[in-house]
Amino acid sequence: MSTSRAPWKPSSEQSLLVQACLSNCEDLEPLFRRWETEYDFDAMDFGCMRLLPYLYRRLEACGIAAADHGRIRGIYARYWYLHNTQAIPSLTELAHLRDKGLRFLVLKGTSLQFLIYGQDPPTRPADDVDILITGSDLNAWIAHVRERWFPKHFSLLTGLLPGDKKVHGMGEARFEH
């Protein structure tokens, strides 16, 4: 029997960080100190890295100093920068398309940033903007994407034909139909 965990299950390090993020201030410090002691910051996986912006804000709110405070703050700053330079412009572009009558639904991380983490969106990192569109709108979306998004990034249109399933850009836009 294999002892490896299923890929969808959190690692023990991820579980500990989630516990720390969701704990009250009294319980946060011992959980965080345990994480600092048991795990190597430099060997952290991507799942843990994505928890650090939220953890950073929790540590600040509880007045807890981290040994790697500067590094954790830097990770938060990175996601703040990405949010402001990629997510906000992408959402502005989507608003333009909405005003043109195109329908879509923002999914996953970006929607959570605004619905749940609205006071501080970078505490919920999102590397792209995922949208869902209907198949009947596919041709209109392709026309508007070519017109509005990709003239600045023309090389990204390589291979985009009506039968294609995806366009690669700042993230990945999946055209589902």
154 or 50, which is more confident = 50
Q: Is the pLDDT of residue 3 over 60?
A: yes
Q: Is the pLDDT of residue 167 over 80?
A: no
CA distances from 6 to 50, 55, 93 (A): 19, 25, 38
Nearest partner of 77 among 60, 43, 58, 52, judged by Cα: 52
Location of structure tokens 């650090």: 52
42-95 per-position pLDDT tens digit: 999 988 999 999 999 999 999 999 999 999 999 999 999 988 887 787 788 788
Average pLDDT, the chain: 79
Which of the four pLDDT bands, split at 50, 70 and 90, describes residue 150?
Answer: low
Give the rounded percent of residues in the chain with a pLDDT score beyond 90.
Answer: 37
How far, in Å, CA of 168 to CA of 39, rounded?
35
Location of structure tokens 């965990």: 5
Q: Is the pLDDT of residue 157 over 80?
A: no
**Annotated domain spans of the chain:** 10-67, 83-177
pLDDT the model gives residue 15:
94
Which of the four pLDDT bands, split at 50, 70 and 90, describes residue 177?
Answer: very low
Q: Is the pLDDT of residue 155 over 50?
A: no
pLDDT the model gives residue 121:
85
125 or 56, which is more confident = 56
| Cβ-Cβ contacts under 8 Å for 107 (sequence gap 6 or more) | 130, 131, 132
Q: Is the pLDDT of residue 173 over 50?
A: no
Q: Compute the chain's Rg from CA coordinates.
A: 20
What value does the mean pLDDT take over residues 162-172? 44
Q: Is the pLDDT of residue 161 over 90?
A: no
Torsions phi, psi of 172, nearest 5? -140, 125
Q: Is the pLDDT of residue 145 over 90?
A: no
Q: Is the pLDDT of residue 108 over 90?
A: no
